């Protein structure tokens, strides 16, 4: 419909002699009484037309008015807005399109031919995933799904580091717990990994190898086994949420291949690297940063910025049209330096989108659950999934924009009532499935076409209008990387269905009306199911 309107407006502006008019954009008015779509094209084109916006809007309306089976009315409002109302026949056509498209309804092609790499989670293999990791995991996967629905070829990538001090400490943590099991306890440092998972890894080694590892160094079998077991657990946890990666990229390969040294050398040629106080510094202040940053400590150990710079250059070299970093709030001070370095090296940084998600607070019975990663006093993502289920975990992580702090209310998450937004959405889908089963049991063909011209009540029209907006919503959410808006849309659509259901019987003695309303119910079911698929949650047919 928007393409249809753009062409009509473009022809009208051409006839009015407006040079190089902008492409019209459309929005849904906040007040439904203002129409189905509105555009400010007259205000945008007024300067080029040398006309007051409202006068130009009147001429555009005159130019696009006339017989149109899809457009009921076009009128000027306010300082020059053009409000458009569609015919009932248009919405009946949308219903036909939904049923014809089925599982593909809402898919688009705006990203066709564009490769996209989405990097998310990227937790090092030193412990189980926490609820904080969970938010980034679900968000990154849902952004990937949105991009796929708009035609992008998406690569999901997990970036990790299995080298350095943290891995040495991990290996030694397991070694000390293993020696404890052998009766040879040693003091356990406070900064070592304290979690029960360390004891479990040590116990498995003890059961499999006996005391054969008593003299083994931390960097040997202890570290290797800890990394392997933890990564197996991480993959399993993500799998429970329907998340799988195409690429696991090891930070250590950047050192082994000389990529880290290469980027240091190239930045040094630009006079952006210098030595001071025994450390190596990045001259961020020369690129607009607030101050210079250490990239290699006096000990010779690189800071996060240096390998991240090398990694991003590799992403760019791989030729992705879109590079998305999903990072936690603790990276907010780091990534600007990485982007600045890429730009200074002559790379196109417009293709890089950094999406920062804020922290998660778990609330139980109104009280915040206190957590400390250092002391292993935290709720793991597995524990959260065990308690409320994967659908609820995904939905709750997505229902707020990532720029805001998220309170995960366990009591609400476990409610089996319409107060729980996940239940509310899934119940709408299950209710429709029940209606269709009932119709079939009455000898009514639920796959019938129906005469949709009988659908004209306010509740029926509101529901059809909601369903017609699904493709645009998917496109908009993908373009803005905002899956929480899709949740809001699906919640509103479920509400529109519930209002329709309470106002009208679907299966009635009137065969024509029954057939039409079953078409409307089936269309709603398709939209809810497709929306749930993008969110990565199930659309049950029974609850």
Residue 356: alpha-carbon gap to chain centroid: 12
Q: Judge whether residue 335 has pLDDT over 70.
A: yes
Q: Judge whether residue 374 has pLDDT over 50.
A: no
CATH architecture group of domain 115-161+244-357: 3-Layer(aba) Sandwich (3.40)
pLDDT confidence band for 409 (50 / 70 / 90): very high
Quote the CA–CA distance of 124 and 163 in Å, as a whole number. Answer: 9
What percent helix, strand, coil does the chain show, rounded to 5? Answer: 55, 15, 35
Considering the domain 417-535 in this protein, what is its CATH number?
1.10.730.10
pLDDT confidence band for 197 (50 / 70 / 90): very high
**Domain residue spans in the chain?**
2-86, 115-161+244-357, 165-240, 417-535
Q: Assess whether the region 115-161+244-357 and the region 417-535 belong to the same CATH fold.
A: no
pLDDT in tens, 200-225: 999 999 999 999 999 999 999 999 99
Strand ranges across the sheet with 367-368: 367-368, 360-364, 406-409
Helix, strand, or coil here: 71?
A: strand
Find the angle CA(476)-CA(482)-CA(487) to the nearest 5 degrees: 90
Quote the CA–CA distance of 13 and 15 in Å, as a whole number. Answer: 5
Q: Can you read off the two tokens belonging to residue 23?
A: 């492409």
What's the mean per-residue pLDDT of the chain?
94
Q: Round to the nearest angstrom and report the end-to-end CA distance of the chain.
A: 37
State mean pLDDT over 152-158. Answer: 98
pLDDT confidence band for 259 (50 / 70 / 90): very high
pLDDT in tens, 280-332: 999 999 999 999 999 999 999 899 899 999 999 999 999 999 999 999 998 99
- Residue 376, pLDDT score: 54
Asked if residues 380 and 355 have their Cβ atoms less than 8 Å apart, the reply is no
Q: Can you read off the two tokens belonging to residue 108?
A: 């688009």
pLDDT confidence band for 371 (50 / 70 / 90): low
pLDDT-above-90 percentage for the chain:
85
Task: Give the phi and the psi of residue 72 in degrees, each rounded to 5.
Answer: -85, -40
Q: Judge whether residue 76 has pLDDT over 80.
A: yes
State mean pLDDT over 38-56. Answer: 93
- Residue 464, pLDDT score: 97
CATH architecture group of domain 2-86: 2-Layer Sandwich (3.30)
């Amino acid at each position: 419909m928007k393409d249809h309107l753009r062409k009509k407006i473009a022809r009208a502006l051409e006839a009015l002699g407006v040079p190089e008019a902008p492409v019209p954009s459309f929005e849904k008015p906040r007040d439904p009484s203002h129409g189905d779509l509105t555009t400010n094209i007259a205000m945008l084109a007024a300067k080029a037309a040398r006309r007051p916006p409202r006068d130009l809007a009147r001429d555009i309306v005159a130019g696009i008015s006339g017989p149109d089976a899809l457009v009921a009315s076009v009128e000027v409002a306010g300082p020059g807005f053009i409000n458009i109302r569609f015919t009932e026949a248009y919405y009946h056509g949308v219903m036909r399109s939904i049923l014809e498209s089925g599982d593909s309804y809402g898919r688009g092609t705006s990203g066709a031919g564009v490769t996209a790499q989405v990097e998310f989670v990227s937790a090092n293999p030193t412990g189980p995933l926490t609820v904080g990791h969970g938010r980034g995991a679900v968000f990154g996967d849902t952004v990937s799904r949105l991009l796929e629905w708009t035609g992008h070829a998406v690569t999901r990538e997990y970036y990790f580091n299995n080298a350095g001090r943290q891995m040495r400490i991990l290996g030694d943590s397991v070694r000390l717990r293993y020696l404890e099991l052998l009766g040879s306890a040693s003091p356990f440092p406070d900064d070592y990994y304290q979690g029960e998972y360390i004891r479990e890894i040590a116990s498995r080694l003890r059961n499999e190898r006996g005391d054969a590892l008593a003299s083994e160094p931390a960097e040997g079998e202890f570290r290797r086994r800890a990394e392997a077991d933890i990564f197996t657990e991480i993959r399993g946890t993500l799998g429970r949420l329907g998340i799988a990666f195409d690429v696991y990229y090891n930070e250590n390969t950047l050192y082994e291949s000389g990529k880290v040294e290469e980027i240091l050398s190239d930045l040094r040629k630009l006079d952006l690297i210098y030595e001071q106080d025994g450390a190596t510094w990045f001259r961020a202040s020369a690129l607009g940063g607030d101050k210079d940053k250490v990239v290699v400590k006096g000990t010779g150990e690189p800071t996060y910025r240096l390998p991240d710079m090398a990694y991003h250059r590799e992403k760019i070299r791989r030729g992705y049209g879109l590079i998305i970093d999903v990072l936690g709030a603790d990276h907010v001070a780091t990534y600007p330096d990485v982007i600045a370095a890429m730009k200074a090296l002559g790379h196109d940084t417009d293709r890089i989108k950094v999406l920062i998600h804020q922290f998660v607070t778990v609330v139980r019975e109104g009280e915040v659950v206190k957590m400390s990663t250092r002391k292993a006093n935290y709720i793991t993502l597995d524990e959260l999934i065990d308690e409320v289920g994967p659908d609820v975990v995904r939905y709750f992580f997505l229902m707020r924009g990532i720029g805001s702090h998220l309170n995960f209310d366990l009591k609400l998450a476990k409610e089996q009532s319409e107060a729980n937004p996940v239940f509310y959405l899934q119940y709408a889908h299950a209710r429709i499935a029940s209606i269709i089963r009932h119709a079939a049991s009455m000898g009514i063909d639920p796959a019938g076409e129906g005469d949709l011209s009988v659908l004209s009540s306010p509740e029926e029209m509101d529901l059809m209008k909601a369903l017609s907006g699904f493709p645009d919503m998917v496109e908009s959410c993908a373009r803005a990387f905002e899956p929480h808006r899709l949740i809001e849309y699906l919640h509103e659509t479920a509400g529109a269905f519930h209002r329709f259901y309470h106002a009208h019987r679907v299966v009635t003695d009137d065969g024509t009306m029954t057939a039409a309303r079953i078409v409307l119910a089936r269309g709603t079911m398709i939209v809810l199911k497709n929306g749930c698929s993008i969110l990565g949650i199930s659309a049950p047919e029974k609850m």
